[in-house]
Structure 1
Amino acid sequence: MDCLVSSSLITVFVRWTWLRAVLHNGWWLVTSLYLVVDANLSAAQIVLIGAVQGIFALACEVPAGVLADTISRKWSLVVSQLLMGTAMLVTGLVTAFPLLLATQVLWGVSWSFASGADVAWITDELEQPERISAVLARAARAQLTGAATGLVGLGALAWATQRDIAIVTAGAAMLLLGLYVALRFTEQRFAPARAARWSASWSIFRGGVALVRRSPELRLIFLATFLINGAADAGGRLAPKQLVDLGLPVAWDPIVWLTGVGVLALVVGAVVLRRVERRLDGERARHSYRVAAMIGLLGMTGVAFAPDAASASAALVIVSGIAVPLTRIIAALWVNARTTSVVRATTHSFLAQAEYLGEVTCGLAIAATASLVSLPIALAASAALFGLTAAVMRRPGAAVEPRAR
């Protein structure tokens, strides 16, 4: 593949990553406040949404990954965009808890069609294993800058109009982004299964399971992902309510304050990713992951026990800007380096399953804590999960495994 085609593929992939981040993160900023202020959901209901969402996504994740490996990575991404845009749009039209639960479940299911398929698509279409870590790191930075743009843009729209208008607008734009994938993504290196689809799907699934069973390193990162995603998801959902409860400055509209916090976290994340890019895979990945988890422990503890909204916001920046993006990109690189083209999307789906399983089990436990004890103690439980993840990553692992092709 010549340099021009390679550059075009990378540009298309990074641009799509940026655009999706603009819409997804800006939408979630407005939605997180919408759930608290407009829908008036309790802390337990907010975390329960994440847990139920995770249950459905967990059930769909591996079948979606197998279908991506069997039929098409590109069209799996198109389906993801359409479901995601629909869920986002409808969220702004309802306020009842059961209806919001339904929209968030659909939104979670939509991600199951994208997780793994995106990395598998660019890895195989590019067909340059030596460059893929740099490409994924570049995409991760694009995701952060896109997220910052989305926070400012959709946050400003919500401030100037209404939160539901911003939510519906983001959903409609996400639907249109599906056209970008359909028209700009190629799929020349992927060969759909020619045998009976069920037989091929089952074979791919078994191949992915066998790969994981042979790899202590994959099992280790799945365990760490289970723990840290449970901490990050529950803590992230509860953080806006904690800031509101602590009392945001009266001179600031809540959406403006949360936008500022989010943008600062993303800027910090982009800078940190740039500085540590060469330490995100290979033998140094374990140490970098452990350090990021310890940073998450300190930051989430600060969110839990901060005396005011300003100090809680500063602690949230540490969690959202450093701990969460670092652990996620390291996990993706870790898995990508230890799988093969045939089962790449499926193996990434196993990683996503670990994420969703963490959301469900840890989320339900933290939701119960928020309901039965208090919100700060629930956030402290999230902090404890960050610390447990750091301890898990200190375990001696197997020798570094050869990089898969």
Structure 2
Amino acid sequence: MMNSVAGLANSIMFTTYALYYVNELGLNPFQLVLVGTFLELVVFLLEIPTGVLADTYSRRLSVIIAFFIMGFAYILEGEVVLISNGLLHGAVSLFALVVIAEMIRGVGETFLSGAQQAWIADEVGEERLGRLFIRSGQVQLTTSIVGIITSVVLYSIEPNLPYVTGGILYIGLAVYLVLAMKETNFRPVSRDNRNSWSRLRGSFTEGAFFVKQSPVLILILIVSLFSGASSEGFDRLWEAYFITDIGLPAVSGWNSAIWFGIIGICGMILSIFTNEVVVRKINLENRSVVRNLMLILASLKIICVILFGLATNLIWALACFWLLGMFNAVFNPLYAAWLNQHLESRTRATVLSFMSQANAIGQTAGGPIIGWSGVRYSIRVSIILSAFMLLPLVFVFQKLRRQHERRWTK
């Protein structure tokens, strides 16, 4: 239920968000990435404290707070034009208001990251995570198809409606979770120690020590760092790349929102099919198999992003983009499951927050560089640069595979 509604809301908002940013708010490539940089700066500052709170008090409470905050932020983002022209009489730029909304969203993201996966892992058990996350991804992809169609319709009526609708769905989900979400396997800190800052510091220290003592988690921190740098550029610019560099065919009665709807729906269908093949054909409970599969997928992702950046026509670009979506649809849930299998329950949310913080550092440091290259040279250069930032993923997973092989040959 949680992932279904969140997936629906996200697809409603993010299918046409680039059109909203570029056509309605007038943001350039550097500003597009800079918006994400401010978001990730908030994540960097608050990720660890909110993760510690989730491990100390309640993962359920953390998730509910997250959805309330994010819902408010999305509604605010959808009304920036009204706020700027009406309440503020144009005194604050649209870009500044978007940044403020995204920073508020960042606060919500920190409450959600770590806590959501930690709650799931505790409730269902670690060994079932791989198959569960894949299946959950399939359900989310299916609801996203409905969201894409809704996004196109809403954008055609009023460009800000997708954001407002998505925000309302997030708040509605938070209300539902207040009534329906259970937390049966988590053991919070006793009430006597709950308000102690020393206990919060203790949770943080324990989580940091666990990461420091685990070579695997240190390598994963590196993966998170460079993945963040790459994703901030690609995720913020691929729609603008289709609009400005590739070009979308002119069809009578069609707008760009319809094209992005078609691209999104086809990508979702292909991803659902890919996930089903993986669930049926691959033993997802074997950690070695999962790790080797992630190595292959990481390599294929880099190839796809490079070829996407080199594309000279729509068919070429679409093929690479859809293939990348198929690989991500398998890689992301497998990576989440594999990561949770290396964590201890009592510090899971805190350690996951460390990973998210590393991702935020990567996005904050690497995003502006990629965005600047898009303004200085072209978005094509930005896309290719984001591909090279994924190379450490291959090196890390290759190193993990070799470590495993040496362990078994001794």
TM-score (norm 2): 0.88
CA distance in 1, matches of 2:120, 2:255: 41
1:142 corresponds to which residue?
Answer: 139
Show CA shifts across 1:214-271 (max 9, x none). 1111122221222223222311211111111132111131111111112222222222
Distance 1:131 1:329 in 2: 12
Does 2:72 correspond to 1:86?
yes
Name the CA distance, whole Å, in 2 between partners of 1:279 and 1:38: 47
Whether 1:377 and 2:381 are equivalent positions in the alignment is yes
Is 1:118 aligned to 2:104, yes or no?
no
Tell me the equivalent position of 2:96: 98
- Note the C-alpha offset of 1:27: 0.7
List aligned pairs for 1:247-266, cutoff 5 A.
Answer: 247-251=247-251, 252-266=254-268
Answer whether contact 2:8 2:144 (CA < 8 A) is retained. Answer: yes
Partner of 1:58: 44
Give distance in 1, aligned partners of 2:247 and 2:131.
Answer: 42
Corresponding position of 1:5: none
Moved more, 218-227 or 71-80: 218-227
Q: Deviations over 1:62-110 (max 9, x none)?
A: 1111111111111111110111101111111115101011111222221
Say if 2:300 is the partner of 1:295.
yes
Match of 2:162 among 162, 166, 169: 166
SS of alignment partner, residue 394 of structure 1:
helix
Q: How far did 1:279 drift? A: 5.3
Q: Offset of 1:290 from its aligned partner?
A: 2.1
Q: Which amino acid aligns with 2:153?
A: A
The one-letter amino acid of 1:175's match is I
Letter paired with 1:247: G
Aligned partner letter, 2:264: G
Q: Is the 8 A contact 2:5 2:169 kept in 1?
A: no
Q: Would the alpha carbon gap of residues 190 and 393 (structure 1) be closer, same or farther in structure 2, given more than 3 Å must change?
A: closer
Larger Rg: 2
Q: Report the residue type matching 2:389 in the other structure.
A: L
Partner of 2:55: 69
Conserved? CA contact 2:133–2:334, under 8 Å: no
Of stretches 257-266 and 132-141 in structure 1, the one that deviates more from structure 2 is 132-141
Q: Percent identity?
A: 25
Distance 1:131 1:334, change over 3 A: closer
What residue number does 2:172 align with?
A: 176
CA distance in 1, matches of 2:358, 2:138: 24
Structure 1 residues 210-359: aligned runs within 5 Å: 210-245=209-244, 246-251=246-251, 252-277=254-279, 278=282, 282-322=287-327, 324-359=328-363
- Cα distance in 2 between the residues matched to 1:105 and 1:192: 29
- The SS at the match of 1:190 is coil
Larger RCO, structures 1/2 (Cα 8 Å, 6+ apart): 2
Q: How far did residue 39 of structure 1 move?
A: 0.8
Supply the distance in 1 between the matched residues of 2:70 and 2:148 (Cα, whole angstroms).
18
Per-residue CA shift, 1:264-297, capped at 9, x if unaligned? 2222222222222445560123322222222222
Q: Is the 8 A contact 1:212 1:218 kept in 2?
A: yes
Higher alpha-carbon deviation: 138-147 or 335-344: 138-147
Q: Give distance in 2, aligned partners of 1:321 and 1:36.
A: 27
Q: Structure 1 163/205 Cα, relative in aligned 2: closer, same or farther at 3 Å?
A: same
Q: Deviations over 1:176-217 (max 9, x none)?
A: 110111111012322321214322221111111111111111
Which one-letter code corresponds to 2:42 in the other structure? Answer: F
Deviates more, 1:143-152 or 1:168-177: 143-152
Aligned to 2:88: none
TM-score (norm 1): 0.89
Q: CA RMSD in A?
A: 2.0
Deviations 1:295-324 (A, max 9, x none): 2222212322211334323322222332x3
Q: Which runs of 5+ in 1 are unaligned?
A: 1-14
Q: Secondary structure at the match of 2:222?
A: helix
Specify the alignment match of 1:48 in structure 2.
34
For residue 127 of structure 2, the aligned residue among 110, 113, 130 is 130
Moved over 4 A (4+): none
